[in-house]
Structure 1
Amino acid sequence: MASLSTISIQRPVLALVMNIIIVIFGIIGFTYLGVREFPSVDPPVISVSTSYTGANAEIIEAQITEPIEEALNSIAGIKSLTSSSRDGGSSISAEFDLGVDLEVAANDVRDKVSGVVRRLPPDVEAPTVRKADSDASPIIFLNVFSKQRNLLELSQIAETILKERVQTIQGVSSVQVWGEKRYSMRLWMDPDKLAAYELTPLDVQNAVNRDNVELPSGSVEGSSTELTVRTVGRINSPEEFNDLIVKEDNGIIVRFRDIGHAELAPENQRTILKRDGVAMVGIAVINQPGSNQIEIADAFYKRIEQVKKDLPEDIELGMGFDNTEYIRESITEVQQTIIIAFALVVVIIFAFLRDWRTT
């Protein structure tokens, strides 16, 4: 049987046609190829996060982290188990062997966590189980800052203008705002007044949980129509919280205004981003799996130029990082390598054959 090289020399037209077909298929495949820095390989890691507001690290460790760790230790295929307990929350990461099916492992973790929930404190938030995702890391990070505005105003601009404009770019999975600051309803209580009415902060919390709800109210049917009845039960304004009934005893009504006051104020600052000592917020862009990160970056910069026209003059934008820069450099290196390799192949073949036509 003749070798491939012999057939190519004896039938040059066939060899040329086959090469053209290979090139055509290569071009078609290249158009569908995702462009990213590293291959999409999900690490075999599953994390369990639990929030317990107001608890210190010691309580978190004893009442949340240790019970969950004990439950996870019985799962087969775990390579290592690491945990972190801090004020207000617990994080546990379980790394599995490479051959373990992540879907099966995630289901096993959820089952174990569900079984241990009854051993956790009653007012703790439900644990969240997540699989590590190679596509969950931001590819672009944009800084938003101003020397004339506070974090509340910057957060509002980032949420309503920048985030809404950027998340409509094709290939973008989500847009996160980092370092933002939001409004929250604060309930301030006077300890002396609480003691005078024989109340505790827990009584106030129970009153809020009892009255700050919306319950289904059924519907009203007519001869040809049916209307849904909605009972407005949510408390939204400081005035409504001040009118909240905390206690009623022997005809005496104690409202929240009698023991304290409510106000709309910024929430507690947990994280903060700064540039040259000035607080700022960040816009993190996360791409969809298999999308072209370079095309997303190009569309992002075009969109930002359009958005700048609608921003106040004191708002400044700066790039935190852009991972596509490394991808562009890698592509340039690959192109240069291909050209050099092609030239070397031609030169070597010509050196042996000594004939440009045959080469």
Structure 2
Amino acid sequence: MVEMFIRRKVLSLVISIVFVLLGIMALMKMPITQFPDIVPPSVTVTAKYTGANAEVSANAVALPLERAINGVPGMTYMSTVTSNDGLTLIQVFFEVGTDPDVAAVNVQNRVTTILDELPEEVIRAGVTTEKEVNSMLMYLNITSADPSQDEQFIYNFTDINVLQELKRIDGVGRAEIMGQKEYSMRIWLDPQKMAAYSISADEVISSLQKQNISAAPGKVGETSGKTSSQLQYVIKYKGKFFEPKQYEEVSHQIRRERNHPEA
């Protein structure tokens, strides 16, 4: 067979051209999801320890997670990055051809076994496990023709209306927006005033957690099933804070609680 292709160079050239044409046709018609895997799939575990630096995050968060994840089926190696903002990012790489869905489930099962060992702040913020293949397919630039819309508005509009739709596309493992510009409220504490009123940062955080909530107060006059009620009133709660003045009044609430403690 080899000698035939060597002697008949024209036949070899024709067969090569046919294979090239078939490859070009397949490249134009074949969906991206059916392309062969050329890079190993990976699973990313993300945890946030608010207020911790890189060293504390490495010891309190990354170390327990690494011990639990190490040895998961199909794993080749993993890399861990901790930052001074309390963010811990663990990437677990698997052999080429490993099903990313199965790998994500196996990693998530390992993470669940050690959640009790993590700090309470990390558990409250949540530990996320996402599958991905380390090959960036596309970048999208979203702009607005209206000059009154700033970068923060475009970011949040994209986060609410565009990003979720992109994640639903078949074959998209991960979609994210570069940079963080979500709507939020940053609270600056005055150390001198806090010392004058003997208020600690923990008290401010505790008061915010009690007041800045989306509560479900229930109803008044709701029937028990045995007796009927003609009038029912749904109790509405003001919900979370949206104005800076509402956050400013938190310190007044703390002082009132100190002056009039609950019995």
Common topology (TM > 0.5): yes
Find out whether 1:69 has 2:69 as its counterpart.
Answer: no
Find the aligned partners of 1:203 and 1:123 in 2 and give their Cα distance. 16
Residue matched to 1:139: 138
Residue 190 of structure 1: how far off its partner (Å)? 1.9
Equivalent residues in 2 for 1:115-264, closer than 5 Å: 115-124=113-122, 125-133=125-133, 137-142=136-141, 144=143, 153-157=150-154, 159-160=156-157, 177-179=177-179, 181-220=181-220, 221=222, 228-244=234-250, 245-247=253-255, 248-251=257-260
Deviations 1:252-285 (A, max 9, x none): 9xxxxxxxxxxxxxxxxxxxxxxxxxxxxxxxxx
Asked if 1 retains the 8 angstrom alpha-carbon contact of 2:69 and 2:107, the reply is: yes
Asked if 1 retains the 8 angstrom alpha-carbon contact of 2:159 and 2:177, the reply is: no
The one of 89, 92, 103 aligned to 2:90: 92
Q: What is the TM-score of this pair, normalised by structure 1?
A: 0.50
Find the aligned partners of 2:121 and 2:163 in 1 and give their Cα distance. 37
Larger radius of gyration: 1
Residue 129 of structure 1: how far off its partner (Å)? 0.6
In the superposition, relative to structure 1, how do residues 186 and 164 fare at CA in structure 2: closer, same or farther (>3 Å)? closer
Q: What one-letter code is carried by the residue in structure 2 that aligns with 1:93?
A: Q
Q: What is the TM-score of this pair, normalised by structure 2?
A: 0.66
Unaligned runs of 5+ in 2: 1-21, 223-227
Equivalent residues in 2 for 1:2-13, closer than 5 Å: none
Find the aligned partners of 1:187 and 1:114 in 2 and give their Cα distance. 33
Residue matched to 2:48: 51
Higher relative contact order (CA 8 A, sep 6+): 1
In the superposition, relative to structure 1, how do residues 111 and 35 fare at CA in structure 2: closer, same or farther (>3 Å)? closer
Residue matched to 2:111: 113
Asked if 1 retains the 8 angstrom alpha-carbon contact of 2:144 and 2:154, the reply is: no
Q: What one-letter code is carried by the residue in structure 2 that aligns with 1:52?
A: Y
Find the aligned partners of 1:161 and 1:96 in 2 and give their Cα distance. 32
Find the aligned partners of 1:96 and 1:251 in 2 and give their Cα distance. 59
Residue 73 of structure 1: how far off its partner (Å)? 1.6
SS at match of 2:52: coil
Q: How many residues end up aligned between the 2 structures?
A: 220
Find the aligned partners of 2:163 and 2:129 in 1 and give their Cα distance. 28
Residue 204 of structure 1: how far off its partner (Å)? 0.3
In the superposition, relative to structure 1, how do residues 72 and 163 fare at CA in structure 2: closer, same or farther (>3 Å)? closer
Residue 227 of structure 1: how far off its partner (Å)? 5.2
Asked if 1 retains the 8 angstrom alpha-carbon contact of 2:50 and 2:121, the reply is: no
Q: What one-letter code is carried by the residue in structure 2 that aligns with 1:198?
A: S
Residue matched to 2:19: none
Find the aligned partners of 2:179 and 2:113 in 1 and give their Cα distance. 35
Structure having the larger proportion of residues in strand: 1
Identity across aligned pairs (percent)? 25
SS at match of 1:187: coil
Residue 223 of structure 1: how far off its partner (Å)? 5.1
| TM-align CA RMSD | 4.1
Deviations 1:217-272 (A, max 9, x none): 222447567554322232221111122212423449xxxxxxxxxxxxxxxxxxxx
In the superposition, relative to structure 1, how do residues 153 and 122 fare at CA in structure 2: closer, same or farther (>3 Å)? same
Unaligned runs of 5+ in 1: 1-25, 253-359
Residue matched to 1:39: 35
